[in-house]
Amino acid sequence: MSFRKVNIIIWVLAVVLLLLVLHHNFLSLSSLLRNEVSDSGILGLQPIDFVADIQHPVNGRQEEIPVVIAASEDRLGGTIAAINSIHRNTRSNVIFYIVTLNSTEGHLRSWLNSVSLKSIRYKIVNFDTKLLEGKVKEDPDQGESMKPLTFARFYLPILVPSAKKAIYMDDDVIVQGDILSLYNTPLKPGHAAAFSEDCDSTSTKVIIRGAGNQYNYIGYLDYKKERIRKLSMKASTCSFNPGVFVANLTEWKRQNVTNQLEKWMKLNVEEGLYSRTLAGSITTPPLLIVFYQQHSTIDPMWNVRHLGSSAGKRYSPQFVKAAKLLHWNGHFKPWGRAASYADVWEKWYIPDPTGKFTLIRRHVDTSNIK
C-alpha cells in the first residue's frame, strides 16, 4: 500500500514539473511574439531585423516615432552617430528604420550590437536597387546619382507601411534636441511633408548673403526646358532642404507622392530637366516640383546646415550649441579632416568594433611632446 502511494506521489510530482516547463515555454513564446514586427516585403524593400528596447522599457501607450535613415558602407559612422544622438536625447518611443544594401548589413549589425547601442529599437531594411532602373542616369560629375540609398526618402510609405507619420533624416546630422519636438511639427491640411526652407532658415540668415541661385528653384531646375516652363513655377521661389523632414504618410499615399517623384525622375533621364549646375542633392529637383507651394515648414533650428561647407565656419559656438539639429551638408563631412565643429559631432560617434570605418583627422606631431 505504501509502495503504491510512493508511485502516485512520484507521478504527481512529474506532472507538476511538466506543467511548469510548459508554462515557462509559453511565456517565452508570448514575449517573443510581442517583440516581433512583421512587414510584407513590398517593391523589394525587405525587413531583416528588429531589436526591442530592453534597457529602457517604454510606456506601451506612447506613440511610436519612426525615424528613417540610410546606412551606406562608406558613411556608416555618420549613421551610427546620428542614431546615438537621437536616442540619448529623448525618452520617447523611437524606432529606427535603417535602410541599407545587402553588402552592408553584416557590418551594420556588428556595430549596432555595441554595448552603447544595445537599448536601441530598430529595423534594418534592404533597399532593392532595381527600384531605380530607368529613373536615374549615372553621372560621374554627380556622385549621388550612383548612390542608390540617397533615394530611399522617396519610398517612406513602403519603408514604414503601418505608420501615419515619420521623420526622415540624412546620415550627416547630429540631434541635440528631443526628437519628439520635431515629430510634433504641425502640418497643414493637404500637406504631405514639412521641410526647412533655404531662404528663411536661421542658418542661412546667419551666414549667407547674396547667395544668388543657390537657394532658388532655378538653381535646381533647367528653366530652358519647355516641360519645366509649362509647370508655371516661379524660378525665384525659395528651395528647401530635403535632408531632414517630417512626413504625413497618410497624405503621402493619398497623393501618390512616390509615383509622382518617380515620374519626374524618369522624365529627367529622358529630357535632362535638372540644372546642369545643380546647387544641392540630386534628390531635390523632383521634390521641389512635387511639393511646389504644397509643403509645411519645420522650425529652422531643426535643420541648422552648411556645416559641411566653408560657410559653416562662420557660426558662433553659442549658435551651434543652441541648434536642435546640426547638418553637415556639403563636401566636408564631420568624419573627415576639414568639417566645421567636427568635435561636436565626435561626441556622439561610437568607434567601429570591426575597425573598418575610421575617422580622418589632421596629423598631430607628438614626437616633441614630453
pLDDT tens-place string over residues 180-216: 999 999 999 999 999 999 886 555 554 444 444 568 9
**Bridge partner list, 143:** none
Residue 144: half-sphere exposure toward Cβ, Cα within 13 Å: 14
The predicted pLDDT at position 187 comes to 98
Comparing 4 with 129, the larger pLDDT belongs to 129
CATH topology of domain 65-347: Spore Coat Polysaccharide Biosynthesis Protein SpsA; Chain A (3.90.550)
pLDDT tens-place string over residues 326-359: 999 988 999 998 889 999 999 999 999 999 999 9
Q: How is the chain split into domains, by residue range? A: 65-347
pLDDT interval class at 366 (50, 70, 90): very low
Q: What is the mean pLDDT of residues 8-23?
A: 63
CA–CA distance, 321 with 310 (Å, rounded to integer): 19
* Closest by Cα among 52, 187, 69 to 119: 52
The predicted pLDDT at position 353 comes to 96
The predicted pLDDT at position 36 comes to 30
Q: What percent of the chain has pLDDT over 70?
A: 75
On whether the CB atoms of residues 69 and 175 are closer than 8 A, the answer is: no
Q: What is the pTM of this model?
A: 0.82
- Round the average pLDDT of the chain to a whole number and report it: 84
The predicted pLDDT at position 186 comes to 97
- pLDDT above 80 for 170: yes
* Closest by Cα among 146, 183, 194, 151 to 170: 151
**Bridge partner list, 100:** 71, 126
On whether the CB atoms of residues 156 and 168 are closer than 8 A, the answer is: yes
The predicted pLDDT at position 280 comes to 72
- pLDDT above 60 for 22: no
pLDDT tens-place string over residues 40-72: 333 445 554 444 433 344 555 789 999 999 999
The predicted pLDDT at position 271 comes to 96
When computed from its CA atoms, the radius of gyration of the chain, rounded to whole angstroms, is 25
Mention every residue, 6+ apart, whose C-beta is less than 8 A from residue 258. 154, 155, 156, 157, 158, 252
CA–CA distance, 175 with 159 (Å, rounded to integer): 22
CA–CA distance, 40 with 63 (Å, rounded to integer): 22
The predicted pLDDT at position 313 comes to 79
* Closest by Cα among 141, 60, 127, 64 to 96: 64
